[in-house]
Amino acid sequence: MSIKNKLLWCLKKETRMKKIRPNKDLSKKHIKKAKHNLEAMNYNLDGGFHDWVVSQAYYAMYHALLAILFKKGYESKNHECTINTVEYLIEQKQILLNKEVIAIIRTTEQMTNKDAKALREEFQYGTKTSVDKQLLQILMNNAKKIVEQVELSLQD
């Protein structure tokens, strides 16, 4: 399915995603939430809660993507729709981000065949608490990088 068709599928049901008036205030609040998740990520790392570091890293990235959507006039309640719509906006040159941002969220190929979203689901809903230190470092670095890049891209 093409990226545009994915966007149209997402917009078919308001429970997945809907068009709204662009909202700079909510966009800024999602960047703030992304930064909050980065802080929680570091706090959990220091506390030895490595499984929660995975979730916090993912949610930092996710809230950064939501910031883009609110600024562009979308409200999403579906993770895949959020990711696909940002990818569409990048492709259409409506936001100045490299597609690498999406690749980072979708894959951590250096360490595993699972993407950041799948890793978050595995550690949030599963029973494992131990995470490979290299994988954790990659996720944390990527989360910081994405939040920073998105914040810069959203500045007026």
What percent of the chain has a predicted confidence (pLDDT) above 70? 85
pLDDT at 123 over 60: yes
Which DSSP symbol is given to 59?
H
Contact 27, 4 (CB under 8 A): no
Which DSSP symbol is given to 123?
H
Which DSSP symbol is given to 113?
S
Quote the tokens at residue 23. 């909202």
Quote the tokens at residue 59. 């949610």
**Alpha-carbon distance 106 to 111, whole Å?**
13
Confidence of residue 118 (pLDDT cuts 50, 70, 90): low
Q: Provide the whole-model pTM.
A: 0.88
Domains of the chain and any CATH numbers: 3-7+20-154 (1.20.120.330)
